[in-house]
With several copies, the nearest count.
Chain A
């Protein structure tokens, strides 16, 4: 089902900014369902919502630079029967409005979709205040919150369609840093399910978002050394696909997790918490360990061992050990 194996190396594929898929999906959903509205914090341009605003002038609510109000307003709109897609830079959405996310959305169980734009280190040279590496760990600690980190334009749109059709709180990361397409057009998002985007039994790489294609590229390199890496796409960080993680722990030499997020409490943490409970095995957690220095997102991902080579090296280490 995944399109990978068929079409040559993943690194040669064209790359796309997932925000374009996001705005198209949002406009289509708004067309079909009058309840869909957008809520933004002076982030129309950074969310690429100018066309949406033209098409649905009163259904894009801009509260200005006020994230607490933005999330509270979304909770009120949901109470009024609307389905708000909050669209704001992930760093400000999650850091500035976390208590509103906890109380007004998660604990109140409001049907609000929190869309974290330009997450991870997408803002590159704008630095750690604009990097959103903590968002996943922060939201994972909150009950009643589905956390989705799509890896491609198709998956971004599919996750949005699922979220729009499913009552309850959800957080969706929308990548800015461009990524190749990994899924066929008709891909359907299934919450809490991992996708085996490449099969193998020597070692497992679990990834999502902007790092998934790098994991696939690493697997291609490993194949040349005769190491068959299983690559699990884990778009849903919460609830986690526990069975897929256990199977990986049982069937392969070890697990590498790789994500554009902190090494403390993100996807890596979720996988670690799962394996120690069900089937202890070695897990190498790749992620961002610090307030990053100046550099582009790509430069920084490489710095933190998430180049295809960096991921492949870790995988070789694990494969050798056992």
Chain B
């Protein structure tokens, strides 16, 4: 059945008030992540296209950022001092649109136009069509230089706004990222945080089989970053780390978020075939069951 507004079932969330407890924050993030996965699954299945593997490996990171970390809301998308988030791995637009809708940047019904002719929601984000998007990404290796420019602009403005950029791990094979990292360190951009969705898979194979990144921590450290590793599906770890950067004054932060492509769906998780496969009716039902029955805890 083609995608219609009946498939736009996502509840809308708001960030919790500042005084909320860590436990409340984490539960809030977890439920948002679960709902975002359910909605994104519907989009991909009914639209018949998307990058569900990379969507699901990134959703806990996206939910943490928009749910409890980023100082930005639908009312402040034009505030010069808002925090900036750049989705460098632009192919997970489905997860991104769904996250933006979950936090009120985009009407939930509009998700039903995903990939449809003349829709604002095409396969890669377009800032001129959707409120809250900071850059038109899709070609890999573009987000980090843009984020460096944003962090430089904050430094020039003597603003405390933060810049976060999410990249894939295969994406780091692009040299443009290493150009940007060198400059980030040169300019001591400690309010810049690079988050790597370290799912160890790229389009056609594992990163190791293709062009290995290890030792990624040593590479990032040698390029002048403070390196932190987290479980990219553990909302507690993500919340603690992403809300407490920078770790080393004068150094940008490099967060290696260990994830699984397709997480937590049993038949998708860590399976390269799901980079851009579309679930069949049966697969769809199974994934939905798994998500709906899954506890709203850390997503693990």
Chain A contacts to B: CB under 8 angstroms: 37, 42-46, 58-59, 61-66, 68-82, 84, 91-92, 95-96, 99-100, 103-104, 107-109, 123, 125-127, 129-130, 293-296, 299
Contacts and interface: CB of A to CB of B under 8 A. Distances in A.
Contacts of A293: 117-118, 122
B257 interface: no
A130 B123 contact: yes
B300 interface: no
Contact of B137 (A62, A84, A129): A129
A141 B223 CA distance: 36
B289 to A, nearest CB: 29
B115 interface: yes
A97 to B, nearest CB: 9
Contacts of B140: 65
Given A72-B144, A100-B142, A66 B156 contact: no
Contacts of A81: 80, 153, 157
A46 B156 contact: no
A41 to B, nearest CB: 8
B39 to A, nearest CB: 19
Interface of B: 49, 80, 84, 90, 115-124, 126-128, 134-142, 144-154, 156-157, 163, 170-171, 173-176, 179-180, 182-183, 186, 202-205, 210-211
Contact of A73 (B90, B120, B136, B148): B148
Nearest to A40: B204
Given A66-B174, A73-B180, A77-B153, 11 more contacts: A62-B204, A63-B211, A65-B211, A76-B148, A76-B153, A77-B149, A79-B146, A96-B139, A100-B176, A104-B135, A125-B122
A71 B135 CA distance: 13
Nearest to A77: B149
A61 B202 contact: no
B71 to A, nearest CB: 15
- Of A46, A126, A130, A296, which is in contact with the most chain B CB atoms at under 10 Å from its CB? A126
Given A59-B156, A64-B211, A299-B117, A73 B139 contact: no
B173 A65 contact: yes
Contacts of B182: 64, 66
B121 A37 contact: no
Contacts of A68: 141, 145, 175-176, 179
Nearest to B211: A64
A107 B134 CA distance: 12
A217 to B, nearest CB: 22
- Of B137, B144, B145, B203, which is in contact with the most chain A CB atoms at under 10 Å from its CB? B145
B136 A108 contact: yes
Nearest to B168: A65
B269 to A, nearest CB: 20
27 contacts: A42-B205, A42-B210, A58-B156, A62-B204, A62-B211, A65-B173, A65-B211, A68-B175, A69-B145, A69-B175, A73-B152, A73-B183, A76-B148, A76-B149, A77-B153, A79-B146, A80-B152, A80-B156, A81-B153, A100-B142, A100-B176, A103-B136, A103-B138, A107-B136, A109-B127, A127-B138, A130-B138
